[in-house]
A and B are shown apart, each in its own frame.
Chain A
């Protein structure tokens, strides 16, 4: 048996690594399948990733949260500490979801039926003085596209959002939100039409 010890070790190792990757995929597919859907207004920033290829970097309206929105603002602190933030979203009249309140750490009360809590991350050093805004990362700030298509989509988005052709609606991202608040991009929307929809796998 010791002759095959190395082979057995290799099989266990391979299955463990494949298992970890499958678990990552299954978790994301579950959010796509079961998560609550929200539509967020978006504008592109700039593309390219060395390892994962072309992407469009996305900045959302909800990526900037006014300090007044934070319900549990720490007293006496001038800047933020690095950590998580929960942003409660509610559907606006135009179909886009917008922030209604936010908590550093965890939400004080569960969200109502027509609201969704989205989990984000803030870095340290944002100014907490009244009137300022803080930047939030939700982990949904990139949209990967086949090589070479990133710039075209981005330019189109920028043209629409600049209001050069006001009859056209801006771009939106449909996000699935898991029960723990993790956001997962589900579709890229051009007004009411769906440009890309993500398959589960």
Chain B
């Protein structure tokens, strides 16, 4: 964020010097940039949150070590004190305008809550499943996020829910049900993210849902999951392309909806292709993927560099997979390297051409 503000300020200084904008407008613009910069995450906040994450990990590992030198009651008491001091101290800091440190303290408190659940399990030798403990932790963190309107805690709650999904999704030997509840949890967290103004949480939720679809596809081993994921993502891509402003107002992903939709689409098609590796539908799926990638670059690529790079990655992946499946079986290693070199060279040429075409038009659009 800071780098963006610095860049804009440099640009404004240049425009003022070259007479594009007058000094008064330039100063007003700089003031606006500075005012808005403070709302975002600055470097100090990021460091504070990283420190909080380290502290949180230390708490959890200290609990796991089951160190006898500290009596149990003291361990429980210390964790309770951290919970209380973290939540309340964070709230006090927030009132005084130290948002970044507040979020960091809240993260520590939420980690101490999770650590306490683990400690109680350890004290009384619970052998019940970890997943249930993780759910308790997740709900507690989400409630904390709602009560404190905390961005970081919302993200943490989504992350803990992801951990639960992994725990449940890979419980192959326990013959348990697939955790479909995850989708409902994500829906609730999506609503929560508007209350806590956490765009980061929404990004993580979208990626988590794509991950859920992948696990679902593996679990049931069917084509339909990949197909549905690809179709829904394609529909979202179309919506984002045709109605960018209303769709952004609805999802508030900072204009990144097409990015997520493309990731989802490529994931879905990839699942279909892996399913159909030596069958009829494979080439069809590859053709569809390449067509959609091309369309995305042409219609949506101008606004987002990240989107273009996802498109290039998808394109390279498709070429490699198609090559391996259709031709690779007949040619030797030398042939593969030769073809790979040509494909890479072609890809590089295409990327350079596209990137160059995207560039000169942006100043015209701004003028």
Chain A contacts to B: CB under 8 angstroms = 3-4, 6-7, 9-18, 20-21, 24-25, 28, 49-55, 57-58, 82, 123-125, 137-147, 184-185, 198-199, 201
What residue in chain B is nearest A121 (Cβ atoms)?
A: B128
Can you list 15 A-B pairs with a CB-CB distance of less than 8 A? A6-B94, A7-B91, A9-B91, A13-B148, A25-B123, A51-B64, A51-B118, A52-B64, A52-B121, A53-B63, A55-B122, A139-B128, A140-B127, A146-B67, A184-B125
Residues of A within 8 A of B128 (CB): 139
Q: Does B143 contact A (CB under 8 A)?
A: yes
Chain A nearest Cβ from B114, distance in angstroms: 8
The listed residue (B60, B92, B109) touching A7 by CB distance below 8 A is B92
In the complex the two chains form, is A142's CB within 8 Å of B127's CB?
A: yes
Chain B contacts to A: CB under 8 angstroms = 60, 63-68, 72-73, 76, 80, 83-84, 86-88, 90-92, 94-95, 109, 113, 116-128, 130, 136, 140, 143-144, 147-148, 174-176
Residues of A within 8 A of B143 (CB): 13, 16
Give CA–CA (A55, B65) in the complex, Å: 11
The listed residue (A9, A52, A138) touching B122 by CB distance below 8 A is A52
In the complex the two chains form, is A201's CB within 8 Å of B130's CB?
A: no
Give CA–CA (A46, B64) in the complex, Å: 17
In the complex the two chains form, is B125's CB within 8 Å of A201's CB?
A: no
In the complex the two chains form, is A147's CB within 8 Å of B91's CB?
A: no
In the complex the two chains form, is B148's CB within 8 Å of A142's CB?
A: no
12 new A-B contacts, CB < 8 A, other than A53-B64, A53-B65, A146-B66, are A10-B87, A13-B148, A14-B87, A16-B143, A50-B64, A51-B60, A52-B118, A54-B66, A137-B127, A144-B122, A147-B66, A185-B124
Give CA–CA (A123, B94) in the complex, Å: 47
Chain B nearest Cβ from A158, distance in angstroms: 19
The listed residue (B60, B84, B174) touching A14 by CB distance below 8 A is B84
The listed residue (A7, A52, A53, A201) touching B95 by CB distance below 8 A is A7
Q: A21-B80, A21-B117, A25-B76 are in contact. Are A13 and B124 (CB under 8 A)?
A: no
Residues of A within 8 A of B86 (CB): 14
A-B interface contact total, Cβ < 8 Å: 129
Q: A28-B124, A52-B118, A185-B124 are in contact. Are A123 and B174 (CB under 8 A)?
A: yes
Give CA–CA (A14, B51) in the complex, Å: 21
Interface centre among A9, A145, A184 (most CB of B within 10 A): A9
In the complex the two chains form, is B88's CB within 8 Å of A17's CB?
A: no
In the complex the two chains form, is B120's CB within 8 Å of A3's CB?
A: no
The listed residue (A9, A25, A57, A140) touching B147 by CB distance below 8 A is A9
Chain A nearest Cβ from B153, distance in angstroms: 10
In the complex the two chains form, is A125's CB within 8 Å of B175's CB?
A: yes
Chain B nearest Cβ from A188, distance in angstroms: 10
Chain A nearest Cβ from B306, distance in angstroms: 34
The listed residue (B60, B95, B144) touching A13 by CB distance below 8 A is B144
What residue in chain A is nearest B72 (Cβ atoms)?
A: A201
Interface centre among B127, B143, B147 (most CB of A within 10 A): B127
Residues of A within 8 A of B124 (CB): 25, 28, 184-185, 198
Residues of A within 8 A of B94 (CB): 6
In the complex the two chains form, is B118's CB within 8 Å of A147's CB?
A: no
Give CA–CA (A12, B143) in the complex, Å: 11
What residue in chain A is nearest B121 (Cβ atoms)?
A: A52
In the complex the two chains form, is A17's CB within 8 Å of B83's CB?
A: yes
In the complex the two chains form, is B72's CB within 8 Å of A146's CB?
A: no
Residues of B within 8 A of A9 (CB): 91, 147-148
Chain B nearest Cβ from A201, distance in angstroms: 5
In the complex the two chains form, is A144's CB within 8 Å of B91's CB?
A: no
Smallest CB-CB A-B distances: 5 pairs: A10-B91, A141-B127, A53-B64, A142-B127, A14-B87
Residues of A within 8 A of B127 (CB): 57-58, 137-142
The listed residue (A17, A185, A198) touching B113 by CB distance below 8 A is A17
Give CA–CA (A181, B317) in the complex, Å: 56
Chain B nearest Cβ from A38, distance in angstroms: 15
Give CA–CA (A13, B60) in the complex, Å: 21
Give CA–CA (A143, B66) in the complex, Å: 12
Residues of B within 8 A of A145 (CB): 66
Residues of B within 8 A of A58 (CB): 127
Residues of A within 8 A of B118 (CB): 51-52
